[in-house]
Structure 1
């Protein structure tokens, strides 16, 4: 999978991987179809950082959840 390309499939893949790796409970709040495609680079950076880490402190999880929330489309 070429994550350098901004596609709906890549967004969905990265969001699912982030949610799985962080063991996030409230995954409904972070849906791939609600992500702003213009924020793809930021999502990709978050994805890469999350994949490098093995564990997350509660404050890191909170910060990542907030950052993912910031990447959502403005309605």
Structure 2
């Protein structure tokens, strides 16, 4: 997957990867389609932080989930 090019497909790929890595209990509430390519760079940042860590603390997970909530389209 070439994540250097903003696309809705890449957004959805990253959101699904984040949900899997974080083992989100509310994963169903985080529909990948609720995220816009307009926030691509921010989503990519969250994705890279999430995937770059072997273990995430509870506070890190909470911060990442909070950021995803902020990026989600209303």
Equivalent residue number for residue 3 of structure 1: 3
Equivalent residue number for residue 14 of structure 2: 14
Q: Name the SS for the 1:16 alignment partner.
A: helix
User: For structure 1, which runs of at least 5 residues remain unmatched after alignment?
Assistant: none
Q: Name the SS for the 2:45 alignment partner.
A: helix
User: For structure 2, which runs of at least 5 residues remain unmatched after alignment?
Assistant: none
* RMSD of aligned Cα (Å): 1.0
Equivalent residue number for residue 42 of structure 1: 42
Instruction: Give the paired residue count.
Output: 74
Equivalent residue number for residue 54 of structure 2: 54
Q: Which runs of 4+ in 1 moved over 4 A?
A: none
Alignment of 1:23 with 2:23, yes or no, is yes
